Amino acid sequence: MLRILDINDAQELFTRKAVRLAEAEKVVAPILEDVRRRGDAALIDYARKFDGLDLKQVRVPEADLAVTLGAEFLRAIEVASKNIRAYAGMQLPCEKWIDCGDGRRLGQIVRPLESMGAYIPAGRYPLPSTLLMTVIPAQVAGVLTICVTSPNPSKEILGTARWLGVRDVFRVGGAQAIAAMAFGTESVPKVDRIVGPGNIYVAAAKKLLAGEVGIDFVAGPTEIVIIAAEGDARWIAADMLAQAEHDVEASAILLTTSRDLAERVAAEVARQLETLPTASVASEAIHNNSAAVLVSSLAEAVDASNRLAPEHLALHDASLLGAIQHAGSVFLGSMSTEAAGDYATGPNHVLPTSGVARIRGGLSSADFVKIISVQELTAAGLAKLRPTVTTLARAEGLEAHARSVEVRLG
C-alpha cells in the first residue's frame, strides 16, 4: 500500500496540492458577515445547522466545566503542561537596554497582547492537547483575556480548560467561531490574535479575517518527512501511521538511500494497518499522499526536504541538522517520535504546514507579545545625529522633520 518511488518519479509528492481555499472562502464569507451583523443569534443558528446543537447560549456554563477528570489523565496534563510552560518561558523575548556611549540609549520593552482566542477541534478527534499548546504560551506571555471556542468540546477539553484557569469557553465551531472572536459578539470577546488548527473552512475564515485580527497561520493538511539511511522499520512505519491517522489528506514521506529499508517499512505499514483502529483514515492518507522515496545520498534527501519545508521533520542522523533550512519542528534521533512532541516534550505542536515553514516556525509565547522599541537621546547625542537627520529629511522633502531637530539645538 505504501509506494516505493525513485526521487525522480516522486515529484508529485513535492509539488503541493493547492489548498482549495477559494471555494471555501466563498462558503464562509457570508457566514462571517452574518456573525458580524447578528452576533450570538447567528452563532446559535449555525450551531443548530452545522453541529446539530440546540443551544440557548454559546457560553459554556461554569457547572459544565466542573467535570471530573481521571487521575491518569490529570497526571498526563500536569507533566505535559509543565514541559510546555518551561519551553514557552525559554522562547519569551525579554526587555533589554544598551548605552551606545554617544548620547543614545536604546532598548526594547515587551508587552503582552490584551486578549487571544484558541480554536480547539472537537470533531473526529477532540484535542485537549491543543488546548494546552495554545493557552499555555499565552499565559506565559501574560495575556489576560483568554477565550476558547470548540464546536462540541469533550469532557477532557472542558476539564482541561478549567484546570488551566480558563473560564471563557464557548460551544461554537467552524468559520463562525473565527468570526465571533474576530468581531466580538454579545458573549464572545473580540480578541487580538486567533490561533489553533481547524478544517478548511476554519482556515479560509482565518485567511479572510487576517488583518481584522492577528492569526498564527493558514494551515493545510498535516505532514511529516523522515530522513533515514537505516533504522527499525517498525518504528518508522509507526511514525508514518501516527501522522496518517490525522486526516485522509495527511502526508507521510520517508526519504532513504536504502531500498531494503523502504521495502521493510512498506511491509510494516501494511502489517500495522491490519490492527490500527484508525485504519480507514490512515490507509487513505498512506495510499494517496505518502511514499518511501529513494535518494542517491542523504544530501539529496536534505535538499528535497528543504524544498518541501515540512511541518514535522524526523532526522535519524542528528548530524544532518546543520543543513536543515526549513521545517516546522525537527525530531532528532530514532527515539524522538513525533507523537512525543504532539503531547509532552514542550515545543509547540501548532506548526506551519503547506510550505509555510519557509517563512516562520511554530506557535510560541513570542506570538502573544509585542516588542516595542525605545530610544532616548541626550542633547549631545542629538547634535551628533543632526547632519544625518536633516540631510535625509530634506532629501525627502520633509522640512518639518529637519526643523524639529534644529529647533532643539539652536
Distance between CA 44 and CA 55 in Å, rounded? 6
Rg (CA), the chain: 25
Tell me whether residue 311 is one of the annotated catalytic residues.
yes
pLDDT reported for residue 20: 75
Question: Average pLDDT of the chain?
Answer: 96
Q: Which domains, and CATH codes, for the chain?
A: 3-15+221-346 (3.40.50.1980), 21-95+114-219 (3.40.50.1980), 378-409 (no CATH)
pLDDT for the residue numbered 17: 54
3-class secondary structure for 223-274?
Answer: EEEEECCCCCHHHHHHHHHHHHCCCCCCEEEEEECCHHHHHHHHHHHHHHHC
**Cα separation of 305 and 221, whole Å?**
17
CA distance 200 to 19: 8
* pLDDT tens-digit map of 255-306: 999 999 999 999 999 999 999 999 999 999 999 999 999 999 999 999 999 9
pLDDT at 16: 57
What is the reported pLDDT for 39?
98
Which residue pairs, CB below 8 angstroms and at least 24 apart, start in 168-172? 168/59, 169/59, 169/60, 169/65, 170/58, 170/59, 170/60, 171/47, 171/53, 171/55, 171/58, 171/59, 171/60, 172/43, 172/46, 172/47, 172/58
Active-site residue identified among 311, 316, 326, 349? 311
For residue 21, the model assigns a pLDDT of 83
The label of the residue with cell 510550505 reads: 355
Of 390, 392, 385, the C-alpha closest to 403 is 390
Dihedral angle of Cα 279, 281, 287, 293, to the nearest 10 degrees: -90
User: Residue 293: phi, psi to the nearest 5?
Assistant: -110, 125
Check residue 26 and give its pLDDT: 95
Q: Which three cell numbers stand for residue 139?
A: 499565559
Binned average pLDDT, 10 residues per bin, the chain of 410 residues: 93 70 93 98 95 92 95 98 98 97 98 98 90 98 98 96 98 97 98 96 96 94 96 98 96 98 98 98 97 98 96 97 98 97 98 95 98 98 98 98 96
Q: Where are the beta strands (DSSP E) in 60-103?
A: 96-99
Among 153, 164, 169, 173, residue whose Cα is nearest residue 88: 164
* Range list of β-strands (E), 151-219: 168-171, 193-195, 214-215
169 secondary structure, DSSP code? E
- What's 186's DSSP letter? S
Query: What local confidence, expressed as pLDDT, does residue 12 receive?
Result: 84
27: its cell numbers: 462558503
Which residues have CB under 8 Å from 43's CB, separation 6+? 35, 58, 172, 176, 177, 180, 185, 187, 188
Q: Which of 246, 312, 316, 349 is catalytic?
A: 312
For the chain, the residue count is 410
